[in-house]
Chain A
Amino acid sequence: MSEPVLAIKNLTVSFPDHLVLNDLSLQLNQGDFLSVVGQNGVGKTTLIRVILRQLAPQHGKIKYHPEFKRMKIGYVPQFRNIDEEYPLSIRDFVGLNLHDSRLPWLSKKERQKLDKIIKQTNLETIQNTPLGDASGGEKQKAYLAQALINDPDLLILDESTASLDNVRKFELLDLVKEFNEHQGVTVLFITHDIELAKDYAHEYLLMRHGNYQSGPIAQFKESDLEEAEHA
């Protein structure tokens, strides 16, 4: 696949009182693992909303890969509206994203897909646990499994590791890395954790108010981020 999975050109988004994204260009090829870093308020969430087609840009173009009639995007947020009273099991929650058929019950093919993703994300032993009772790390794994169940072309992790301890962070990202390396899933990882980004990402995009810097993650300098924070 020679064409990029996603190409954004000269993207500008402004709200009535301020400019959020200014002339941002970005290209993601299949198998890329891009880490997006930058302080709060520089437009990271706005960028995600544009990619998810929840927000229309004022200027600029977004081109999805022509092979994807309707590009499949998996999204794993930091938080979801899941409290301790949430009734569904992890398995049922993951299966909510199955839409191969419109019938109320799952087809054999869908059940196989569900079994496969539960196994791949190491959720087999806790699949019948209510999601409301699951730990933070288990919840994030369930969100990841739901996002990956339809073999997405692009996986967006939106601060997904922010509320996890170190062990759980690495566990989750090891899983993501497997899907990235073995199945060619393109990953866009938004994080404040530079060390984590350096361990897993291939490229970075540093977002500042109105200007952007990108390159291979090996060339990322902490001083650039400090400059951005003091700008």
Chain B
Amino acid sequence: MLSFAFMRHAYIAGTMIAIISGIIGVYVIGRNMSFLSHMLSEIGFSGASFGIFMSWPPLNGMLLFTIVSSVLIGQLSSKSSRREASISAISSLFLGSGILFLSLANKNASDATSILFGSMIGISQGEVNQILWLSLAVLVIIFLVYRDLRFDSFDHVGAQVKGVNTQLISIVFLVILALSVSVAAQIVGSLLIFVLLTLPAASAKYFTRTVSGMMVFAIGAALLGVWLGLYLGYVTNWPVSFFIAMIECVIYFTALIWNRVRN
């Protein structure tokens, strides 16, 4: 299987995506931002469509739209009640635009399908390199702000008293979330980003009690889904996204059952 270049590319890109999704996902759970990550994925769809319309690589369009919109969302309001309304308004605008861009680009349904559900098998060496650089950028930023981001995500009140610049941390986080969404969309598609960015971390909180423990578990769960999903996709010729979604859902529901039994 690994003698094929496209499978090697898929495994390299998938591994990086699983690692950053596992790490970022823990912060998404800590900050109660599952809703926002889902919305950013819809915005990502619009960005990819815009990229196709402009004859750019879809990932570039996706990066542009998700980063700009995440900063906009961060600026509009830091209060969660107003933030959710802001997110809905912004994402509706972008989703509508995405349909328009695809229509104007005269592209057929297969382009829309690959943006929405991923096209892991078609990843080129150039795209693998881009994913590696973006993942590295995300990891470096997290390393630099690790403690402040951890404090703000798991105890906002304490972080404010400590003097952490929570407004700046919030914007930095939204930007790395946007980067992660765009990168993860390459493998599972924009509609199923939730699967890698939220489910592994949401499962982790039932098994471990530390931020670092949650990250290790979430990375492991995401890697298992991606590696096994790619293998099953290769063997059966069914969509890789389907297998990844199934594996992550099984892990999540097992975690829920485990938690119920334990309590």
**Contact residues, A49-65 vs B (CB, 8 A):** 52-54
- Which of A22-30, A80-88, A171-179, A186-194 contacts its partner? A80-88
Tell me whether chain A's interface is mostly helix, strand or loop, or mixed. loop
A146 interface contact, C-beta 8 A: yes
- Name the residue of chain B whose CB is nearest to the CB of A85: B205
- Name the residue of chain B whose CB is nearest to the CB of A127: B209
Residues of B in contact with A (beta carbons under 8 Å apart): 29-30, 143-144, 146-147, 150-151, 154-163, 204-205, 208-212, 214
Among A74, A77, A99, A130, point to the contact of B157 (Cβ < 8 A).
A77
Among A77, A88, A99, point to the contact of B211 (Cβ < 8 A).
A88
The smallest C-beta distance from B123 to any residue of chain A, in angstroms, reads 30
Q: Which of B29, B151, B209 has the most CB of A within 10 A?
A: B209
A27 to B197 alpha-carbon distance, docked (Å): 50
Among B143, B163, B204, point to the contact of A70 (Cβ < 8 A).
B163
Say yes or no: A99 contacts B147, CB within 8 Å: yes
A105 interface contact, C-beta 8 A: yes
Given contacts A87-B30, A99-B147, 11 further A-B contacts (CB under 8 A): A75-B161, A81-B156, A81-B157, A87-B29, A87-B209, A88-B154, A92-B210, A96-B155, A97-B151, A97-B162, A98-B147
A73 to B162 alpha-carbon distance, docked (Å): 8
A93 to B204 alpha-carbon distance, docked (Å): 17
Say yes or no: A99 contacts B162, CB within 8 Å: yes
Say yes or no: B155 contacts A89, CB within 8 Å: no
Say yes or no: B150 contacts A96, CB within 8 Å: yes
A88 to B146 alpha-carbon distance, docked (Å): 16
A128 interface contact, C-beta 8 A: yes
A130: which B residues are within 8 A, CB to CB?
A: 209
The smallest C-beta distance from B233 to any residue of chain A, in angstroms, reads 32
A107 to B159 alpha-carbon distance, docked (Å): 20
A104 interface contact, C-beta 8 A: yes
A102 interface contact, C-beta 8 A: yes
Say yes or no: A102 contacts B155, CB within 8 Å: no
- Name the residue of chain B whose CB is nearest to the CB of A131: B209
A85: which B residues are within 8 A, CB to CB?
A: 205
A81 to B80 alpha-carbon distance, docked (Å): 13
The smallest C-beta distance from A72 to any residue of chain B, in angstroms, reads 9
- Name the residue of chain A whose CB is nearest to the CB of B155: A96
Among B29, B147, B156, B157, point to the contact of A102 (Cβ < 8 A).
B147
A104 to B211 alpha-carbon distance, docked (Å): 10
Among B162, B209, B212, point to the contact of A105 (Cβ < 8 A).
B212
The smallest C-beta distance from A124 to any residue of chain B, in angstroms, reads 16
Say yes or no: B157 contacts A96, CB within 8 Å: no
- Name the residue of chain A whose CB is nearest to the CB of B204: A87
A137 to B154 alpha-carbon distance, docked (Å): 20
A104: which B residues are within 8 A, CB to CB?
A: 143, 146-147, 212
A105: which B residues are within 8 A, CB to CB?
A: 212
A74: which B residues are within 8 A, CB to CB?
A: 161
A166 to B44 alpha-carbon distance, docked (Å): 54
